[in-house]
């Protein structure tokens, strides 16, 4: 997935993210996964910038 595609996907996931009373842990797992993906994307962009 390219940078812009990843960002669009993350934006969609964030827009849909909401707590679920039946499964409160799901919200935290999704939030953590989004944060992890954003950190990975930031690292990839930093490496690209450093190498370019």
- What is the per-residue burial (b if ≥16 Cβ within 10 Å, else e) of 3-18? eeeeeeebeeeeeeee
Token pair 């939030």 is found at 31
Neighbours of 34 (CB within 10 A): 16
What's the pLDDT score for residue 10?
A: 95
| pLDDT exceeds cutoff 90 at 3 | no
5-52: per-residue pLDDT in tens? 989 999 999 999 999 999 999 999 999 999 999 999 999 989 988 987
Instruction: Concatenate the DSSP letters of all residues of the chain into one string.
Output: --HHHHHHHHHHHHHH----TT-HHHHHHHHHHHHHHHHHHHHHHHHHHHH-
The reported pTM is 0.83
What confidence score (pLDDT) does residue 1 get?
Answer: 57
């Amino acid at each position: 997935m390219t940078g812009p595609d990843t960002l669009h996907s993350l934006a969609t996931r964030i827009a849909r993210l909401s707590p679920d009373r039946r499964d409160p842990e799901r919200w935290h797992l999704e939030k953590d996964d989004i944060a992890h993906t954003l950190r990975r994307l930031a690292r990839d962009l930093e490496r690209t910038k450093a190498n370019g």
